[in-house]
Structure 1
Amino acid sequence: MLKQGVMDELSDEHLMQKYGSGDASAFEQLYLRHKNSLYRYLLRQSTEPQIAEEIYQDVWHKVIAARLTYQASAQFNTWLYHLARNALIDHFRRSATAHKYVVEDDGSHNHAESDLVDNEQAIDTTKQLMLLKHCLQQLPQPQQEAFLLKHEAGLSLYAIAEVVGEQEQSIKSRLRYALNKLKYCMQAKLGDNHG
């Protein structure tokens, strides 16, 4: 078992290989690195928090099950989000609601931060966040997925292309269209509220 400082320095791929060799602390480090962004990605892609939690647990169980056979042929986070995407697809196929990708509020607002800002600014930020979530719901699923993988999971264009099985250029186009639609939607909604 390695010390925490050394663990922080290791790549995800190396940590997964160490976990496959029996080092449970390597898995703990991987989990700590990816738990929040993975959960947010699943939550924003699913219809309710319970579904996101179920899929989240399923993905981590798959990571655990793959510890002995894992091959670092791609970046770990690309592999992880590929597992997550497949789990989402499987869930929606089973429930026959593949067309109902909905962004939900994950309720993870930091209350300490809201104490530091005045109420008006906090209300404005909350309204903007709700507006962004509303506009995300309006995006076609492939654009929404690309946007969330980029901005929630922090994946590169190449990694997103690997996760969804598309060309990088297609992902770039999806992101461009998503950003344009989000900008237009938010401007239109803000115009409605101020007019």
Structure 2
Amino acid sequence: MEEIDDETLMMQYAKGDVQAFTRLYYRHKDSLYRYFLRQTASPEVAEELYQEVWGKLIKAHLDYSATSKFTTWLYRIAHNHLVDHYRHNSTATKIITASIDEPSEELTKSIDLSDPQSNLLESLSQSQQMQQLKQCLQQLPRAQKEAFLLKHESGLSLKEIALVINETTENIKSRLRYGLSKLKHCLRLNGESK
């Protein structure tokens, strides 16, 4: 069976095909939920934001046009909703702490310290790696953490991330470079202190 791309499914949903929405939902539900979970301090808040974004998508489905990838459009809605949430709760200047209970395999693979100079992660147990990754992600500035998670958790390209958060591609590259550097440094420090 041929895989139908997200944009086609969304266009079908805009024409009234509810099964097309169901396929989109199941295709993106886990990564969208993890995006909110890692951006908030509470699974309850993440769940609320997650449900509200799907509601917004349903309301806006007739306005969708395939001028960009569906995931870019979806995460733009999610990003804007997250920003609105923090503005509404008067915490826009607060650093958002991550709640990472179950880091995905893609996320843990994205932090590769197994370079010739350091094999720290190989020497740690899986649970130690997860705990250290949680702690290090919590320390990243919000903008770097969001760019990192959109890249490594949601699989968006640099250009798509730039569209989602309304930044230049160069700024996204910088955020990712600095964020990854801070994560590697943090993981090395945690590995050395063991």
TM exceeding 0.5: yes
- Distance of 1:135 and 1:105 partners within structure 2: 11
TM-superposed deviation, 1:100: 3.2
TM-superposed deviation, 1:175: 0.5
In the alignment, does 2:46 pair up with 1:52?
Answer: yes
Partner of 2:191: 190
Say whether the 8 Å CA contact 1:78–1:160 is kept in structure 2: yes
- Distance of 1:166 and 1:69 partners within structure 2: 23
4+ residue runs over 3 A deviation: 106-110
Q: 1:105 aligns with which of 95, 100, 104?
A: 100
Q: 1:86 aligns with which of 80, 83, 94?
A: 80
- Distance of 2:101 and 2:60 partners within structure 1: 29
- Distance of 2:148 and 2:102 partners within structure 1: 20
Partner of 2:129: 128
TM-superposed deviation, 1:129: 0.9
Partner of 2:11: 17
Say whether the 8 Å CA contact 2:95–2:141 is kept in structure 1: no
Q: TM-score, normalised by structure 1?
A: 0.85
Q: Larger radius of gyration, structure 1 or 2?
A: 1
Say whether the 8 Å CA contact 1:47–1:100 is kept in structure 2: no
Q: Which has the higher helix share?
A: 1
Partner of 1:161: 162
Unaligned runs of 5+ residues in structure 2 are 106-121
User: What RMSD, in angstroms, separates the aligned Cα atoms of the two structures?
Assistant: 1.8
- Distance of 1:187 and 1:91 partners within structure 2: 34
Aligned length: 176
Q: TM-score, normalised by structure 2?
A: 0.86
In the alignment, does 2:139 pair up with 1:138?
Answer: yes
User: How many percent identity over aligned positions?
Assistant: 51
Partner of 2:153: 152
